[in-house]
Structure 1
Amino acid sequence: MAEFRVTGLVAATFTPFDDNGDVVLSKIEAHIKYLKDVGVKHVFVNGATGEGLSLTLEERKDIAAEWVKANNGRLDTIIMHVGCANLRDTQTLAKHAVEIGVDAIAAIPPQFFRPTTVDHLVEYMRRVCEAAPTLPLYLYHVPPLTCVELNMADFLRKARGVVPSLRGIKFSSQDLPIASECVQLEDAKGHKYNILFGCDQQLISALVLGVDGAVGSTYNFMAGVYQRMMEAMDRGDMDTARKEQYRSQRTCKLLFNYATQGGSTVSCLKLMMSFAGLDVGPPRCPMRALGADDVAKYRKELEEIGFFQWYRK
């Protein structure tokens, strides 16, 4: 387990719904094929992009099992998000992840009665670890959604040896100095923690700091931008790398603009996926899809920035 490490792009996958809000498991196969075709080898399932906290436990189990079954080894890594609003449900999903054979699990802390100190968070993750001790475990740090604003470097230090399966953090915070500190830290066996960045529009900065890879929604539909960016960085061509990151930033800015105009971030992300050629359905209530007029305007603005010329590799 100490050698388990994910590098590169990890797509935060969508949950496909029909117009009634029912899960359509049969669409997961097409999502796997799409990701393989665009060169994305790792997925993060049932997270925020997957509307995990809008799903029942049974739905989350069914989705997790279908990803493992449909994948059949085509993608390299399936990280299953198991975090819930309470510890017992989180432990239930963690145990289920072991049973179906996922590669790793991740968990957000509870958001209502939430950990208020690093020690509380370490104890919570220790108990998650107990439910699935054989699986690599990641803390899903997303303070804009959880309001758990704790220092992640302090968390890694205090979790060392206490949470033996902890492999790293899905770091969805814009606090780059703390991300940089986390990158330098080691577990009790002397292995660097696996830090996966979660803010797509800032990926270039996090890569410079030394993160191993990134988990993000936009890696579903414009992986080519980030693949070209990382390749340019590898060969020392920072001008090209910055150009590709700017394309990401322009796209994200448009997405966030429309998300505030009556839709939601997830609804706009799902719309982007349909523009890229894969239907993953609407978001689940209480989130709303954009109206037809806004969809047309959104697509037009994407055309104006050249999105459809460069989103694929």
Structure 2
Amino acid sequence: MENDTNNVENPEAVEANATQAVQPKEEPIAKTAKDLFSDFKASDESDFEDLNDQEQASFSDSDEPLTKKIKKKKDLKRKPKPGHEDSPKKKNYIQKYKKEWESIPAVKPWISESVHGPHYFYCRFCKKDYKCGKTEIFKHMSAMKHKKHLTNTVQSVQNKFLFRGLLCPVITPFVKSRGKEVNYKLINPYAKFLKACGVKGILLNDITGEGMSLTTEERKQLVEFWYDICKEKNQFLMVQVGGAPLKSVIEMAVHAERLKVGAIVLMADLYHRPKTHLDLIRYIKIISEYTEKVPILYHHYPKYTQLYDIDMTAFLLDITGEVEQFVGVIYTTNDLQDGLTALTLNPEKYVVFMGTDEVMLGAVASGFTCIMGNSINILPKLAESICQCIKDGEIKSAQASQNLLKKAIDSIYCNGDMVSTLKAAISIMTNLPVDTVREPLQTVWEGTIIKMKNKLHEIGII
């Protein structure tokens, strides 16, 4: 009875202990893409191999080396001498993660903070967390396991996506009727015109192609039609599958991969727009889980998607290692500096297209080898001239071509919506009746087309 009395002597303490025992643990706050998609476990071990003296010296810094940390850990385990039981023990120094490590060029593409706390770092290539320390980071980088992941990642990207050059976002011709059905009869002569002008890359069902005004079945049929044309003419085909409900986007992505197109392009969900770059990564990852080998690019078009606040640098850093098929970005923006930052961030892994006619000269001069522009539909030789003149060092000729290109697109776009006026200009240049657009867009009036034609003739385009 005495024992029973002791057990219930302090019921409030017992209740407090019970409450504390069932208290759930707090979940770590998601800071990077890996927090959202995978169950990661921190590792106290390392995958690195021993470094030689030269490597060790190059990696040394003011941080305490790993050997001293291990020695201190052993010293703490030793029993104190008699009479010194109460003597203070020295604390073991544990290195914390430092943001400045991310600025080191050799580790910038793959290192990030860990969800397991400030004493760990995360490798995006190996998808694993390790204990911190600058020396440990560089030792991990020298490990065969890490090198293998790095090599496989780079090789897989190079094998998947080799296209470089001018990419043309093609239009979709419609029948001049109430239903505005797709006019397949006009696609062959239109494609023949582009091939004769030297266009080697085709982007289908993007904004210029009114992809968001087409049904899923229409978009799939267009892909099949253009696939045969591109195969015959040896052109690289990329297909934009975004701008639709997620289920339809996945269906079109699977269809494009089954046809073995060159790549698929995604835009952000236009109904449930991502609030952060992590939301965007999650959206792309969901779609990638239904495909296996087709390369994926993201079309960054803030003027159309209204996603001005997405941090593209953070996006490219955090998507590394999370979506194997992801290979790059198309920048349709006049912010050349932002595009250049993306271009130089991880050039071995990601390709970056500059997709704005107005900054074509600056993009090529800055090192962009992939250019997309609406003007390639009507003036591909002018775009090609800009690229060639920069390559040959003929700056004044390149500037003259860029100025002429700007005059042409200003003379076209001043007459209405971008897609409608571009299709009217293509009709003028090719003599093909491809000016009809699908509602809610409005087809350019015939009188305006005559006015546009006279202006293009005046500046020497036709």
Contact map agreement 1:12 1:50 (CA 8 A) in 2: yes
Which runs of 5 or more structure 2 residues have no equivalent in the other structure? Answer: 1-155
Aligned match of 1:275 in 418, 422, 428? 428
Partner of 1:30: 189
Kept in 2, the 8 Å contact 1:106–1:139? The answer is: yes
Q: 2:331 aligns with which of 157, 171, 182?
A: 171
Q: Per-residue deviation at 1:272?
A: 1.1
The answer as to whether partners of 2:267 and 2:300 remain within 8 angstroms in 1 is: yes
Could you tell me which of 366, 384, 389 is aligned with 1:209? 366
Summarize deviations over 1:231-269 as a string: whole Å, max 9, x none.
11011000000100011111111122111xxxx211111
1:10 counterpart residue number: 167
TM alignment of 1:37-52, pairs within 5 A: 37-52=196-211
What SS does structure 2 have at the residue aligned with 1:124? helix
Tell me how large the CA RMSD over aligned residues is: 1.4
- How many residues of Structure 1 are paired with residues of Structure 2 in the alignment? 301
Structure 1 equivalent of residue 342 of structure 2: 182
Higher Rg: 2
TM-score (norm 1): 0.93
Give the superposition deviation at 1:302: 1.1
Offset, 1:133: 2.2
Deviations 1:84-110 (A, max 9, x none): 233221111100101222111001001
Question: Structure 2 CA distance, aligned partners of 1:24 and 1:5?
Answer: 32
Q: Please give the alpha-carbon distance, in whole angstroms, between the structure 1 residues aligned to 2:392 and 2:255.
A: 42
Alpha carbons 1:111, 1:147 under 8 Å: kept: no
1:148-159 superposed matches below 5 A? 148-149=307-308, 150-159=310-319
Which secondary structure does the structure 2 equivalent of 1:11 belong to?
A: strand
Match of residue 124, structure 1, among 283, 286, 289: 283
Q: For residues 423 and 324 of structure 2, what CA distance do their matches in structure 1 show?
A: 36
1:111 paired residue among 259, 264, 270: 270
Q: State how far apart, in whole Å, the 1-side matches of 2:350 and 2:404 are.
A: 30
Contact 2:241 2:266 in 1 (8 A): yes
Equivalent residue, structure 2, for 1:265:
418
Measure the CA separation in 2 of the matches of 1:101 and 1:34: 24
Q: Deviations over 1:110-143 (max 9, x none)?
A: 1231001011111111112122221011001111
SS in structure 2 at match of 1:135: coil
Residue by residue over 1:176-200, the C-alpha shift from the partner in whole angstroms, topping out at 9 and shown as x without a partner, is 11101111122xxx72411111111
The CA deviation at 1:69 is 1.7
The Cα of 1:71 is off from its aligned counterpart by: 2.6
Given that 1:36 and 1:75 are in contact with CA atoms closer than 8 Å, whether structure 2 keeps it comes out as: no
Partners of 1:251 and 1:169 lie apart in 2 by 27
Quote the Cα distance in structure 2 between the aligned partners of 1:165 and 1:86. Answer: 21
2:257 is aligned with 1:63? no
Q: Does residue 256 of structure 2 align to residue 97 of structure 1?
A: yes
Structure 2 length normalisation: TM-score? Answer: 0.63
Q: Is the 8 A contact 1:7 1:213 kept in 2?
A: yes
Residue pair 1:46, 1:81 contacting (<8 A) in 2 also:
yes
Q: Which residue of 2 aligns with 1:195?
A: 352
What amino acid is the match of 2:458? E
Amino acid corresponding to residue 274 of structure 1 in structure 2: S
Contact 2:201 2:236 in 1 (8 A): yes
Are positions 1:85 and 2:244 aligned together?
yes
Aligned to 1:296: 450
What is aligned with 2:33? none
8 A Cα contact 2:157 2:349, kept in partner: no
**In the TM superposition, what is the alpha-carbon distance from 1:296 to its structure 2 partner?**
1.3
Residues 139-190 of structure 1: CA distance to partner in whole angstroms, max 9, x if unpaired? 011111111121222211111011111111111111211101111122xxx7
Match of 1:284 among 431, 438, 441: 438
Q: Structure 1 CA distance, aligned partners of 2:225 and 2:185?
A: 8
Q: What residue is the counterpart of 1:222 in the other structure?
A: 379
Task: Please identify, of 201-210 and 11-20, the stretch whose mean Cα deviation from structure 2 is larger.
Answer: 201-210
> Per the alignment, in what secondary structure is the counterpart of residue 329 of structure 2?
strand
**SS at structure 2 position matched to 1:276:** helix
Partner of 1:239: 396
State the 4+ residue runs in structure 1 displaced beyond 4 angstroms.
Answer: none
Structure-1 residue corresponding to 2:321: 161
- Structure 1 Cα separation of the partners of residues 290 and 185 of structure 2: 29
Contact 1:31 1:278 in 2 (8 A): no
2: CA distance, partners of 1:127 / 1:84: 15
Q: Is structure 2 residue 408 aligned with structure 1 residue 248?
A: no
Q: Which has the higher contact order (CA 8 A, sep 6+)?
A: 1
List per-residue Cα deviations over 1:265-310 (Å, max 9, x = no partner).
Answer: 11111111111115224111111112222111111111111111xx
Please say if residues 44 and 79 of structure 1, whose CA atoms lie closer than 8 Å, have aligned partners that are also in contact: yes
CA distance in 2, matches of 1:101, 1:278: 33
- Percent identity between the aligned chains? 27
8 Å Cα contact 1:17/1:282 also seen in 2: yes
The whole-number CA distance in structure 1 between the counterparts of 2:438 and 2:217 is 16
